[in-house]
Amino acid sequence: MHRTDLARATHTPLDLTPEHDGVIVAGVVEEWADRHGKDFDLTLTGPAGSHWTIGANGPTINLDAIEFCRVVSGRRGTVELDELLSTEVPF
Query: What pTM value is reported for the model?
Result: 0.88
Number of neighbouring beta carbons within 10 Å of residue 12: 10
What pLDDT, in 10s, does the model give residues 2-19? 788 888 899 999 889 999
What are 34-91's pLDDT values in tens digits?
Answer: 999 999 999 999 999 999 999 999 999 999 999 999 999 988 777 777 889 999 998 7
Burial group, residue 48, by CB count within 10 angstroms (0-12, 13-18, 19+): buried
